[in-house]
Amino acid sequence: MASISYQRRQFLQYAALGAITAAMPGFSLAEIRSVRKTANSAFKADVEITLTAQAADMPILPGAHTHVLTYSGTVLNGPQTALKELPGYLGPILNFERGQKVRIYFRNQLPEPCITHWHGMHVPQVMDGHPMYAIDQGEQYVYEFEVDNPAGTNWYHPHTHELTGTQVYQGLAGLITVTDEAERRLELPSREYDLPLIIQDRSFTQGNQLRYMLGMHQRMQGFLGDTILINGQKNNVIPVKTRAYRLRILNASNARIYKLGWNDGTPLTAIGTDGGLLPTPETFPYIMLAPAERVELWIDFSDRKVGSDLTLQSLPYHISASHMEGMGGRGRMGMMGQAGQHEALSIATFKIAERTGDSPQLPDRLIPMRRWTTSNVTQPDKTVPIAIGMRHMSFQLNGRTFEMENYQEIEKIPVNSLQKIRIFHESGMGMGRMGGGMRGGRGGMSMMMSQPHPIHIHGQQFQIVSRTQANPQSSAYDTVKDGFINSGWKDTVLVLPGEEVEIIKPFNDHTGLFLYHCHNLEHEDMGMMRNFLVG
């Protein structure tokens, strides 16, 4: 586990701050430094909480407790409902209101650096948990921001340089909900009928301890566990009543992509994506959910019999790892506790336990959304590239791996602009046929080229304009193509091998360095991350 020395990090921080202050007048070094250590008395917080990252031992499997890392929280000020504990090893759910001013005292009790990112939230750079702000054991970072997101489901997790994967894996993650007036008017299922479903795959030793990896192959593919945890627990049976529920599903796995489907073939009804509610409910035969993506489902158990059950599964598909298995790696992987990426898995079983007659109806319309086209973007003839590539056994974005404070000319974006971004594979990388395209070549090479990458961009939510698959006829693509929700607000988009995705994204209000990266956390920790300088 590489952790850069304190002096080195300090140097990087100052170097970065120097670059930023030079680029942005009125944004002084002293200001940035003071903001993170102590509360700003001029910021009148509506909610104040503490969030501490620490080690703990928790019961996850029967028998010995598991050594984990966890966020524990308390509400210092404001509504007690701002924080809801979950029984498992995950952090508390943070419940915010749009417009609320939030102060979070983040404390690091780990014997390694840590910093926390509010994934999906639109906040200033110094509040965004950039790895340059990592704090050491015993230190505190004070976050202060106004909740400027529409109602929806976001999350928080560490963003520590080269340690994000291991820290999230060991338990550091939690859900954030945002509510607003427009959402309340819809009278969606609330309280006990509004269920979080945080999906993670983990792997355990005989002694119930978490097992991470990392061999070269596992790094290149990302970690896959053989045990599904829901909300940080192994017990995946959820008792429900005969009425409608809202399910807030977050894929908080390091690398596993799920193909969600109901076991009896019932179509999935989506009402929300990463950035909030959809304009109208939409149904899908199955939904692909990559790491960091969220989907909100409406599921109505009204017509089901008490005693029956319905299981949310991950269905088989074929977009990656085919080579691993094809190479006779199956046995090796089994030994290492890796289940194949495309295998069928049971996620959670809903047991209809009680009859009730008070179910709300699914609204026809949810939250209106104005679709952007190229004619809306600030510079219609200019497209910001995100080129996925690989050199020297590591994934790159725009030709480079992560450098703490560095950005290239093409990574400079004017503040308060609307940009078209094209995410694509560098020529020769993952082009042509999906999955099996390079079969027969060297195993390692072909596996790397057939990797899917969930690309996440910090800051405001974007719209997906188009997806182009180089080989739409392939039988592998057939197993996933009906599972993409392209109509809602997104902050993470799964880019398949051979695929090009165009998005339109606003960069409003906040200047500074904002990350974009692959949310396969092993890829991210290997450096598949870059900065945009917004200014």
Residues of this chain that interact with ligand C2O (CB under 6 A) are 117, 119, 157, 159, 292, 456, 458, 515, 517, 519
Q: From ligand C2O, Cu ion, none, which one binds at residue 433 (CB under 5 to 8 Å depending on kind)?
A: none
Q: From ligand C2O, Cu ion, none, which one binds at residue 241 (CB under 5 to 8 Å depending on kind)?
A: none
Q: Which two tokens stand for residue 57?
A: 């031992």
DSSP label at residue 135: B
Q: From ligand C2O, Cu ion, none, which one binds at residue 518 (CB under 5 to 8 Å depending on kind)?
A: Cu ion
State which amino acid sits at residue 77.
Answer: N
Q: Are β-strands 294-300 and 383-391 bridged in parallel, bridged antiparallel, or unpaired?
A: unpaired
- Between CA 223 and CA 205 the distance in angstroms is 15
DSSP label at residue 371: P
What are the residues binding Cu ion (CB under 5 A)? Answer: 453, 518, 520, 523
CB of 501 to ligand C2O, least distance (A): 18
- Between CA 224 and CA 477 the distance in angstroms is 21
Q: Nearer Cβ to ligand C2O, position 172 or 366?
A: 172
CB of 495 to Cu ion, least distance (A): 8
Q: Is the alpha carbon torsion for 109, 113, 116, 119 positive or negative?
A: negative
Helices (H), ranges, 412-528? 443-449, 475-478, 521-525
CB of 38 to ligand C2O, least distance (A): 25
Q: Nearer Cβ to ligand C2O, position 333 or 534?
A: 534
CB of 396 to Cu ion, least distance (A): 10
CB of 439 to Cu ion, least distance (A): 21
Distances (CA, A) of 112 to 4, 172, 300: 10, 13, 45
- Between CA 476 and CA 434 the distance in angstroms is 7
Q: From ligand C2O, Cu ion, none, which one binds at residue 520 (CB under 5 to 8 Å depending on kind)?
A: Cu ion
Q: From ligand C2O, Cu ion, none, which one binds at residue 456 (CB under 5 to 8 Å depending on kind)?
A: ligand C2O
Q: Nearer Cβ to ligand C2O, position 114 or 315?
A: 114
Q: Nearer Cβ to ligand C2O, position 104 or 515?
A: 515
CB of 519 to ligand C2O, least distance (A): 6
Q: Nearer Cβ to Cu ion, position 449 or 518?
A: 518
Q: Nearer Cβ to ligand C2O, position 145 or 286?
A: 145
CB of 149 to ligand C2O, least distance (A): 14
CB of 388 to Cu ion, least distance (A): 8
Burial track 412-425 (b if 16+ CB lie within 10 A, e otherwise) = ebeeebbbbbbbbb
Q: From ligand C2O, Cu ion, none, which one binds at residue 523 (CB under 5 to 8 Å depending on kind)?
A: Cu ion
Nearest alpha-carbon partner for 267 in 237, 310, 231, 228: 310
**In the complex, residue closest to ligand C2O by CB:** 119
DSSP H/E element including 112: none
* Beta strand ranges found along 164-254 (DSSP E): 174-179, 194-202, 227-230, 237-241, 244-251
Q: Nearer Cβ to ligand C2O, position 119 or 433?
A: 119
